[in-house]
Structure 1
Amino acid sequence: MENRKHTFDRMPLAARFFALPARFYSLVRPTPLPEPQLLLWNAELAAALNLDADPAAHDALAEYLAGNRLPANSQPLATVYCGHQFGVYVRQLGDGRAILIAETPDRDGVIQEIQLKGAGPTPYSRHADGRAVLRSSIREYLCSEAMFGLGIPTTRALSLVGSPQPVWRESVETAAVVARTAPTFVRFGHFEFYSHHDDHEGLRALAVWTIVNHYPECKEANNPYQALLEAVITRTASLMAQWQAVGFCHGVMNTDNMSILGLTIDYGPFGFLDGYDAGHICNHSDTAGRYAYNQQPQIGLWNLQALAQALLPLLDSKEEAIAALHQFQPQFEAAFAEQFRRKLGYADWQEADWEPLTHLFNLLQAGRTDWTVFWRALSDHAPYAEKGSIPAQLRDQVLDRKGFDAWFAQWQSRADRSDPAALRDRMRAANPKYILRNHLAEQAIRKARDEGDLSELQRLAECLRHPFDEQPQFDDYAGLPPNWANDLSVSCSS
């Protein structure tokens, strides 16, 4: 039977969080915003949530998405957690500007949480205003949906609402709210909070809740908590490999920004690689380079160690945790190999493939070759190259042409080029033509913020829904970044 479509004010609500101890959260209402305006509405996601995709079908939709009104029977709340920020333990953090307003089933029957980010202060705001600005909210909306289009696990954005209310950051900006969704926003830091506060009863309750709602396959294990840790390790290893494959840099991989479901969460100072630099630091605030692109897999493991430490009271022994953590590296390497097997168009991955792949990385590093443009050009042109010939569209991107000639000969000997069109299509499906480059986001932000023109924002959002498709109408988004893009920087305030 077809699911009935609901309006935002009358969506069916679940109440899973109230099965957790009351000390896990605080009931708090969003703080109203003046003159909210709906800037973006994700009709596709709305339909998946059994909501009417037509925004006009919802009464006063912007009021609900700003937090000025609440769905019927909503009990909004913010959760408490702690975590390691840039490697330093912070005893209490929490949802400082995010308020959960609904848990509702999607069309597959999976409960999805809906949070309003920027909806005002909570008990965990630590003297901050609980607001988000339009600039950072646009970036979060665009990137979460870009990652979804890339097939990478992520939270999603349902809407973006703006308001003329002034908010002070480096300068005065205007307020905005993103309604974002996920099966849960529980983080590694939630488990750390209970463990580091010696609340083992609360830790067990949270672990049981997580297993029941999100990892039911762990229930039958000899130790369900060990199985939970192992499952999170597997998902995190896969996520790290997917990030590396598309050149995504998170920028602030604190343990409180790590999803227990292996989702990409909390889009702040993120960035995608332009010219390839393994040590690229996308976060201007990260002066030590802790979260550089090439450090992300190891930081993923570091964060998993913090999670394992938190779960120790539920495990049979420390050795169990160590054994689980030892699974990360081989799982990451296998996931990484699978990503690049697909990017290179190989039928399988062989041990001998690691050496030429490393050689390719060195070639791209030496010339700061654009990561996305190179891989897409390889997909488009390499399948059709005659044996022993190299398309100029590829060769001219690499500084060391002789070195690239040798690499390309190896690639030709490994790839099945008997059907070039089929090989091209397989490689295109692993190598996006479009990513959310910083300068593209900046152009959309400036038009929306400075001119009140939403057309660039809407156009870019539409393009990023299908990043692997040719979409010739968006070819202007697929080129190399302009020189002025080198002057852009993002920080923890982004």
Structure 2
Amino acid sequence: MAAYCRYQNNSSRSKLTAFFLFVLIILPPNVSGCDRDNDNDSLHSCETQRQSADDGNKRNVLGCRALPNPYLYHGRIEGDGPNISVMSNCANPNGDEKREPTKYVAFENTNKELGGSELASSIQSVNDSLYKDFKKWKFASQKLLRQFSIDKEERNFVRQVPGAVFSRVLPTSFKTNIKMAVASSEVVRDLLDIHPDVAESELFVAFASGNTYLEKPLAHRYGGHQFGSWAGQLGDGRAHLLGEYVNSKGQRWELQLKGSGLTPYSRRGDGKAVIRSSVREFLASEAMFHLVLSSAMIQCGGTNSTMAPRKERAAVVLRLAPSWFRIGSLEILAKSGEIGLLRHLTDFIIDQYYPEAAGLEGNSRFLGFLSSMVTNTADMIAQWMSVGFAHGVMNTDNFSILSITIDYGPFGFLDGFDQSFVPNSSDDEGMYSIGNQATVGQYNLEKLRDALIPLLDSAGVRRSQEIIAKYSDKYHMKLMSLFREKLGLKEATETSDYLVALLLQVMEENRSDFTMTFRQLGELSLDQLANGDIAKRQWALVDLQDSGLFKEWVRLYVDQFSPMNDEVDLERRRRMNAVNPRYILRNWMAHQVIEEVEADDFEGLRRLHNILKNPFTEQEEAEALGYSARPPPWARKIRVSCSS
């Protein structure tokens, strides 16, 4: 998961970065846990989603035409933090309340909203040292509680929740041994101002697992379009919002547990998370962040030996993002006719996260917000495509209102280039294939526009459609810019765009490995390319060297750097190797690590985590593990679903 944080990033590839703070906690294997009937059951059951969809029009439910080359998606569409920790415990998945109540920790919550010189003074004091005693660490004031109406029913049972944005609900406490599996020390240190050693403390692990907390947590009510159909009320079915922290840089982070127990929004398969989905989310968020994408990061992970009925152990993730609001947060209010609450929440989002629109009034305010969402969504999906990332479940309830990547479920990175690649085995119709992602991005923006219509007058409604219509051009411009970078091309010309399109065509015809083709093009000199001097080590290019079309592409590509000299070539290779990773999170790598974690061996998880933090640098340990080699044949058999 990746979430965006609206703070300036030094990289030109992304101006928005967010983090998951991931703590993986594993429960003992003799404790009953998550209720999951089969491999396709999940937090948001894909089986349920498909059954509720219009069976006769699944492929066309987006109202968009098929694109001959979605990677080069251009022209109009027809129709419309980080995780701190993961811990696990799966008591009482069926919704009864016969579980040990979680108790408040006796922390004095004296932190408050600061501004001006008071904030500057606070920032300076925090910069002097990191928190070495977790008892002194505090949340900011309860901003969300002050801003929004809270569900008056405080008993925890599954129900429809009208007229509220949040419900108060306690996490399920763990009665069994909790283990910290992995932690992102950078997130603990840089985002939470906590000394990394504190992440190993008993008190911090208890906090990151939901066994203790500073304030009574919240579960968020939202809806969403799933696989093209309105699914009604969804909400945080296994997540608890712990609070907001303002760090020494003045950045605000919302801390949320995932896999921490039942809520009023739980459905079949909700409550707890299995180890494999938690490990995958941690690794994905870390990988995506270090690829400099629009992603939330997971910081640490822990394990607990609670078991699901399928004898799977469970885990909890503590994750951070500037906000966990989604497109579905606004949709549920518009669909329910709660227009006053819709306006209030939209105004809050604009004031907090969209300063470019906050000073505007009337239509301009909401249209400015929509315009920023269009730009940011186009950028995010172009970034996904530039590294071959397929999200897998692009429902509007999984689409952040900040255009950040969240809810890493049945995702996947491309091996052989194939625009029909579908990482989610539950997506029988291929609605969320990697080649459809740009189209789905516009569909989701249309649903956001629909939710905003009650706030617009007739002129604003017309203008909103014009704003959405700009999406395809924005996406195409961003995508081509990223792919020119991947090829070391500086200028935007017809030839450079043709080179991108031609290479992708050659790669797809030969199913060339997406990541290593671009990486290995930057490892060879132009002379080596021109002469066909491709070593066996460049295995992705070996797959292409007999293609006549590839030879034509090489000729045109080399001509772009004429007159050629060593200095020009070295600069080209430097630029390419700075944006083309050598290591990505392939499913087979995650699969191996998950098996080890399930056996209480965390060494491989921590090793892979460290490797993914430096994806552009060749690493001896990674090479020995085969992480840049051709994927093993058995990797083709790996299938992931919403519960993966």
Which TM-score bucket, shorter chain as reference?
over 0.9
Q: Does residue 459 of structure 1 match 2:607?
A: yes
Q: Does residue 16 of structure 1 match 2:155?
A: no
Paired residue for 2:592? Answer: 443
The AA in structure 2 aligned to 1:230 is S
Contact 1:342-1:427 at 8 Å conserved across structures: yes
By how many angstroms is 1:368 displaced?
Answer: 0.9
SS in 1 for 2:553: helix
CA RMSD of aligned residues (A): 1.7
SS in 1 for 2:522: helix
Moved more, 58-67 or 364-373: 58-67
- Quickly say closer, same or farther: Cα 1:227–1:398, change in 2 above 3 A: same
CA distance in 2 between partners of 1:3 and 1:77 (Å): 32
CA distance in 2 between partners of 1:269 and 1:56 (Å): 28
CA distance in 2 between partners of 1:210 and 1:241 (Å): 24
Paired residue for 1:484? Answer: 634
Aligned counterpart in structure 1 of residue 515 of structure 2, from 372, 377, 380: 372
CA distance in 1 between partners of 2:619 and 2:341 (Å): 50
- Deviations, residues 415-469 of structure 1 (Å, cap 9, x unaligned): 47542222211101110000000000001001111x3211110000000011111
The AA in structure 2 aligned to 1:424 is R
CA distance in 1 between partners of 2:579 and 2:560 (Å): 17
SS in 2 for 1:405: helix
1:88-127 aligned within 5 A: 88-127=229-268
Q: Does residue 406 of structure 1 match 2:552?
A: yes
Paired residue for 2:330? Answer: 191
By how many angstroms is 1:157 displaced?
Answer: 1.1
The AA in structure 2 aligned to 1:356 is L
1:18-97 aligned within 5 A: 18=145, 19-22=147-150, 23-33=164-174, 34-48=176-190, 49-55=192-198, 58-71=201-214, 74-97=215-238
By how many angstroms is 1:94 displaced?
Answer: 0.2
Paired residue for 1:354? Answer: 497
By how many angstroms is 1:58 displaced?
Answer: 3.7
By how many angstroms is 1:357 displaced?
Answer: 2.0
SS in 1 for 2:257: strand
CA distance in 1 between partners of 2:360 and 2:128 (Å): 34
The AA in structure 1 aligned to 2:391 is H
Aligned counterpart in structure 1 of residue 488 of structure 2, from 341, 345, 353: 345
SS in 2 for 1:374: helix
Paired residue for 1:309? Answer: 450
CA distance in 2 between partners of 1:226 and 1:43 (Å): 39
SS in 2 for 1:54: helix
CA distance in 1 between partners of 2:530 and 2:272 (Å): 58
By how many angstroms is 1:75 displaced?
Answer: 2.8
CA distance in 2 between partners of 1:348 and 1:221 (Å): 36
Unaligned runs of 5+ in 2: 1-123, 151-163
- Deviations, residues 28-83 of structure 1 (Å, cap 9, x unaligned): 11101221111111111001121221136744322111101113xx2310100000
By how many angstroms is 1:482 displaced?
Answer: 0.2
TM-score (norm 2): 0.74
SS in 2 for 1:252: coil
- Quickly say closer, same or farther: Cα 1:421–1:97, change in 2 above 3 A: same
- Quickly say closer, same or farther: Cα 1:412–1:181, change in 2 above 3 A: same
Contact 2:260-2:271 at 8 Å conserved across structures: yes
Q: Does residue 5 of structure 1 match 2:130?
A: yes
The AA in structure 1 aligned to 2:622 is F
Which structure shows the higher helix fraction? 1
Aligned counterpart in structure 1 of residue 369 of structure 2, from 208, 221, 228: 228
CA distance in 2 between partners of 1:45 and 1:310 (Å): 34
Contact 2:622-2:628 at 8 Å conserved across structures: yes
Identical pairs, percent: 36
- Quickly say closer, same or farther: Cα 1:56–1:123, change in 2 above 3 A: closer
TM-score (norm 1): 0.95
CA distance in 1 between partners of 2:529 and 2:408 (Å): 43
Moved more, 375-384 or 439-448: 375-384
Contact 1:11-1:104 at 8 Å conserved across structures: no
Q: Does residue 143 of structure 1 match 2:143?
A: no
Contact 1:82-1:193 at 8 Å conserved across structures: yes
SS in 2 for 1:26: strand
Contact 1:190-1:256 at 8 Å conserved across structures: yes
Contact 2:506-2:549 at 8 Å conserved across structures: yes
The AA in structure 1 aligned to 2:139 is L
- Deviations, residues 88-115 of structure 1 (Å, cap 9, x unaligned): 1011000001101121013321110111
The AA in structure 1 aligned to 2:130 is K
Unaligned runs of 5+ in 1: none
CA distance in 2 between partners of 1:20 and 1:236 (Å): 27
CA distance in 1 between partners of 2:436 and 2:546 (Å): 26
Contact 1:100-1:116 at 8 Å conserved across structures: yes
- Quickly say closer, same or farther: Cα 1:75–1:343, change in 2 above 3 A: same
The AA in structure 1 aligned to 2:528 is A
1:153-232 aligned within 5 A: 153-168=294-309, 171-222=310-361, 223-232=364-373
Contact 2:484-2:496 at 8 Å conserved across structures: no
Aligned residue pair count: 489
Runs of 4+ in 1 over 6 A off after TM superposition: none
